[in-house]
Chains A and B, each alone.
Chain A
Amino acid sequence: MSVYIESGNIISPLGFSTEENYANILSGRSGLRLHTDSRLSDVPLQLALIDDALLESTFAAVVGDGSGFTRFEKFCLLTVTSLLKNSSINISSPDTVIILSTTKGNIELLESRESYDPRRLHLWHSAALIAKHFSAYNKPLIISNACVSGVAALVVARRLIESGKYNNAVVVGADIISRFIVSGFQSFMSLSPEPCKPFDAKRDGLNLGEAAVSAVLTRTKLAGAEQQIEVVRGAMHNDANHISGPSRTGEGLFHAIKDALAGDKVDFISAHGTATAYNDNMEAVAISRAGLNKVPVNSVKGFFGHTLGAAGLLEAIIALEAMKDNRLIGTRGYSEHGVSEAINVIKDTGRHEVNSLLKLASGFGGSNAAVLLRKTR
């Protein structure tokens, strides 16, 4: 029994639909901008932020009255509402579960000068709000596993559908960028002052970004579609090494890749590729250990920045769109190979037959995840 993924919806600085995002990527446009407003940081920063005015007007047009919802809640409600316009599933059905993937949810409220209901800081509150809004039958599942959350959500959704517990899952991944998050990454000195350079010799850190992404996973084949995309298999493994630095031997990621592939071939790898010195090298080591040196690999964080709880899902959907289009997207920011292993980093966007892809993610806590997506006949 197979589990399929329908196209998702993407809300990001590059557009409020998957189509718009993909078109902008093909044109080489990035959502990263230099931000100088001191709300988030005392120093100028490269960030990919969703425009507030556009968010407000789109929310009003698509969902309804936005007053009373936080920015994070609006992200989630907007992406799912947009998603459902293009999906035939019934989100309120007993055979459907909502899965929320986020690292910090409404943490921005801690900085609020206005009074707020402290329960709103809880991720379960956000999930319950979403479930209630869409009259969900089942209790939502909430995954908060650092930056692997988005990929983990795909893996968990697939397992729950395959086990027969549900027929459909609506997976939502979102995070907003707050001073809390920015200051934290600054304290780690992991932010680059420039647009990030994944796998590049001169890479010097990541950029933060925002996105809200959702997708439908289902056991039901899409009627009339020539081609389905199957979520074949996935895995999450811990390095058991360090809580904030990745394992130099790529331990957990190597295991995740091995389990996700289970001996299958793969045509393309969408890496985590944050452009920090350690992450990109670790990924290269893991990819190399898995014998995948020749497989084209990219990172799209040069277009979106690191979108935390949304990242895995966002990048999987973009990779999926490119796969359907038989195209490989170039790694924006990459020019000179700068990792210890000879892996095949894609520099320029171009046509290429792609029938299967592996989406990778790594995160604090020593987390690593991989999921295999494949075209079926």
Chain B
Amino acid sequence: MLGDGDELFSLAGEEFAVFAKAVYKSLEIDYPKFYKMSNMCKLGFLASEYLLKDVNIKEKLVDRSRVAIVLACKASSLQADIEYSKTMGEIPSPALFVYTLANIVTGEIAIRHGIKGEELMLVQQEYDKEQLSDYVSTLIDEGNTDFCITGMVDYDENHHYFADVCLLGR
């Protein structure tokens, strides 16, 4: 029942701003909201863009109310939290505060691709694919989900970033 676990996107190392901009440009998309996103959201957005650019994958996602997004992260939104907290002394920034939750990245991906199925953000100390796929199996078994974008999207307080997303399905 579970298949299509193609690992699409695994990257870390290069300074994120440089990297993210380069990837965004290489995707040749026009999505101005990208520039407002937190680093974690940019990371998740780019990873999901790559995943869904694949025509073989995209053509499976016919009914997007039956496509789920179940992700995990390690650092939650801590990097964005620290950035927001620096504005607390003067004028707290709503544009930064909105990104101080782990699951905003799921929302950004859902908005971009019109995905209205189930969603969940977990926090893991170490990337645990089994914990994710165990849960995704139960979700798909329940009957209202056909496909699930799942994996890890993590951007930590030291600017280390890691994304590994795939599509699991019936």
| A joins B in a complex | yes
- Which residue of the partner chain, among A144, A162, A240, contacts B121 with CB atoms under 8 Å? A144
How many Å from the CB of A319 to the closest CB on chain B? 22
Q: Are A143 and B125 in contact (CB under 8 A)?
A: no
* Assembled-state Cα–Cα distance A237/B78 (Å): 25
Q: Which of A252-268 contact B (CB under 8 A)?
A: 252, 255, 259
How many Å from the CB of B101 to the closest CB on chain A? 5
- Report B-chain residues with C-beta under 8 Å of the C-beta of A252: 116
Q: Are B120 and A143 in contact (CB under 8 A)?
A: yes
* Assembled-state Cα–Cα distance A110/B91 (Å): 17
Q: Which of B140-170 contact A (CB under 8 A)?
A: 141-142, 144, 157
A63 interface residue per 8 A CB criterion: no
Q: Which of A142-181 contact B (CB under 8 A)?
A: 142-146, 152, 156, 159-160, 162-163, 165, 179-180
Q: Are B118 and A187 in contact (CB under 8 A)?
A: no
- Report B-chain residues with C-beta under 8 Å of the C-beta of A159: 135, 138-139, 142
Contact (A366, B110) CB under 8 Å given A142-B122, A240-B115: yes
Given contacts A124-B74, A255-B65, 9 further A-B contacts (CB under 8 A): A124-B124, A127-B123, A165-B138, A180-B84, A186-B92, A243-B98, A365-B106, A366-B107, A367-B107
Residue of A nearest to B33 (CB): A243
Which listed segment binds B: A23-31, A115-123, A212-220? A115-123
- Which residue of the partner chain, among A125, A160, A162, A184, contacts B100 with CB atoms under 8 Å? A184
- Which residue of the partner chain, among B75, B102, B103, B116, contacts A237 with CB atoms under 8 Å? B116
Q: Are A144 and B119 in contact (CB under 8 A)?
A: no
1/0 contact string of B77-112 vs chain A (CB within 8 Å): 010011011001001111001101111101110110
Interface size on A, residues (CB 8 A): 54
Seen from chain A, the residues whose Cβ lies within 8 Å of a Cβ on chain B are: 103-105, 107, 110-111, 118, 121-125, 127-128, 139, 141-146, 152, 156, 159-160, 162-163, 165, 179-180, 183-184, 186-188, 235-244, 251-252, 255, 259, 363-367
Most chain B CB within a 10 A radius of its CB, from A144, A162, A252? A144
- Report B-chain residues with C-beta under 8 Å of the C-beta of A118: 157
Most chain B CB within a 10 A radius of its CB, from A105, A184, A255? A184
- Report A-chain residues with C-beta under 8 Å of the C-beta of B94: 184, 187-188
The 7 closest A-B pairs by CB, nearest first: A365-B107, A124-B125, A184-B97, A142-B123, A238-B110, A187-B94, A144-B102
- Report A-chain residues with C-beta under 8 Å of the C-beta of B75: 122
B10 interface residue per 8 A CB criterion: no
- Report B-chain residues with C-beta under 8 Å of the C-beta of A110: 81-82, 85
- Which residue of the partner chain, among A104, A160, A364, contacts B98 with CB atoms under 8 Å? A364
How many Å from the CB of A327 to the closest CB on chain B? 32
- Report A-chain residues with C-beta under 8 Å of the C-beta of B69: 238
B30 interface residue per 8 A CB criterion: no
Q: Are A107 and B81 in contact (CB under 8 A)?
A: yes
B128 interface residue per 8 A CB criterion: yes
- Report A-chain residues with C-beta under 8 Å of the C-beta of B82: 110
Q: Are B120 and A236 in contact (CB under 8 A)?
A: yes
Q: Are A239 and B125 in contact (CB under 8 A)?
A: no
- Which residue of the partner chain, among A122, A165, A241, A365, contacts B103 with CB atoms under 8 Å? A365
Q: Are B115 and A238 in contact (CB under 8 A)?
A: yes
Residue of B nearest to A366 (CB): B107
How many Å from the CB of B106 to the closest CB on chain A? 6
Most chain A CB within a 10 A radius of its CB, from B100, B102, B139? B102
* Assembled-state Cα–Cα distance A141/B125 (Å): 10
- Report A-chain residues with C-beta under 8 Å of the C-beta of B98: 188, 243-244, 364
B39 interface residue per 8 A CB criterion: no
How many Å from the CB of B11 to the closest CB on chain A? 22
